[in-house]
């Protein structure tokens, strides 16, 4: 199989970075961690388990991923988040698919992610483009919900990786506080209508219904209820920060 580098973004991920690295160690040609000036032991742990570590001031998520790309040395790159794990089944399928490629029309692969909340299987799988042929890759665009620009066909890997998001309430609150800043700024730049009292209730209710009903959180008992209420809270924080920015402006 053609060589592939694994690129991992990290920021205060001491509790999960080891498992992310270990899930691809011995399979990847190089494991590169791009650290956004963590204040915990993320860098120390990443180096201990064999990753190359580069520090890069955080501007936005696309900028971090684009910087990571400059450190790739192999024909393929695989972006793996610190809270994700590659499985043996996934890596075997990826190897077989890359080896079976007959031409260079394929620009990359779409990865399925099996989601876990609080370590609990959520019964939910999403899809993200994460593996690219270096010669076909352009760049990442977008501030928060970054999107890759790549030429060529993207094909799916059927075996999922594991995504351990929302591991505990403390971690959830920290991430919400971080992400909501970018989300609020984006809405302000897009000239979002002035926040009124009723808008808070609307966005919070919409977030709860999406999580609890549309995404079938109700099937997960107490886990589902807590997650859905939290999604509503997270949306409140984002729009409260938007309101604050609008008031300052």
Mean pLDDT value of segment 218-222 = 93
pLDDT of residue 105: 86
Confidence of residue 123 (pLDDT cuts 50, 70, 90): confident
Separation of alpha carbons 229 and 249, rounded Å: 30
What CA dihedral angle connects 57, 63, 69 and 70, to 10 degrees? -60
Give the pLDDT of residue 76.
97
Give pLDDT, residue 38: 92
Q: What is the mean pLDDT of the chain?
A: 94
pLDDT tens by residue, 144-171: 778 999 999 999 999 999 999 988 898 8
What whole-number distance in Å separates Cα of residue 40 and Cα of residue 179?
A: 19
Question: For the segment 190-213, what is each residue's pLDDT rounded down to a tens digit?
Answer: 999 999 999 999 999 999 999 999
Question: What pLDDT is recorded for position 124?
Answer: 87
Q: pLDDT tier at 102 (50, 70, 90 boundaries)?
A: confident
137-141 and 147-150 as β-strands: parallel, antiparallel, unpaired? Answer: antiparallel
Given this model, what pLDDT does residue 21 score?
98
Check whether 28 has a pLDDT greater than 80.
yes
Is 80 exceeded by the pLDDT of residue 142?
Answer: yes
Note the pLDDT of residue 144. 73
Q: Give the pLDDT score at 129.
A: 97
Nearest to 82 by CA among 21, 36, 40, 126: 21
Q: How many CB atoms lie within 10 A of CB 36?
A: 17
Domains and CATH numbers, the chain: 4-165 (3.90.550.10), 169-248 (no CATH)
SS (H, E, C) 183-225: HHHHHHHCCCCCCCHHHHHHHHHHHHHHHHHHCCHHHHHHHHH
Task: List beta partners, residue 131.
Answer: 78, 109
How long a stretch of residues is the chain? 249
Give pLDDT tens digits for 31-47.
999 999 999 999 999 99
7, pLDDT greater than 80:
yes
Tell me the β-bridge partners of 133: 76
């Amino acid at each position: 199989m053609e060589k592939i580098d694994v690129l991992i973004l990290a920021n205060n991920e001491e509790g999960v970075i080891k498992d992310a690295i270990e899930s691809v160690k011995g399979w990847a040609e190089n494991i590169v961690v791009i650290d956004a000036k963590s204040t915990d032991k993320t860098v120390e742990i990443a180096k201990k388990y064999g990753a190359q570590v580069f520090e890069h001031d955080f501007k936005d998520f696309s900028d971090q991923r684009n910087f990571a790309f400059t450190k790739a040395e192999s024909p393929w790159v695989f972006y793996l988040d610190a809270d994700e794990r590659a499985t043996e089944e996934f890596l075997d399928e990826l190897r077989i698919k890359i080896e079976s490629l007959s031409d260079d029309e394929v620009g990359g692969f779409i990865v399925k992610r099996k989601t876990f909340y609080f370590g609990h299987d959520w019964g939910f799988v999403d899809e993200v483009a994460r593996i690219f042929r270096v010669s076909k890759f352009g760049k990442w665009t977008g501030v928060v919900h970054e999107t890759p620009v790549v030429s060529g066909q993207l094909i799916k890997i059927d075996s999922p990786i594991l995504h351990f998001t929302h591991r505990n309430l403390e971690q959830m609150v920290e991430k919400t506080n971080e992400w909501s800043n970018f989300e609020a700024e984006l809405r302000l730049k897009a000239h979002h209508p002035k926040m009124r009292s009723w808008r808070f209730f609307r966005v919070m209710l919409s977030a709860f219904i999406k999580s609890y009903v549309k995404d079938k959180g109700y099937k997960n008992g107490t886990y589902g209820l807590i997650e859905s209420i939290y999604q509503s809270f997270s949306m409140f924080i984002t729009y409260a920060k938007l309101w604050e920015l609008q008031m300052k402006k």
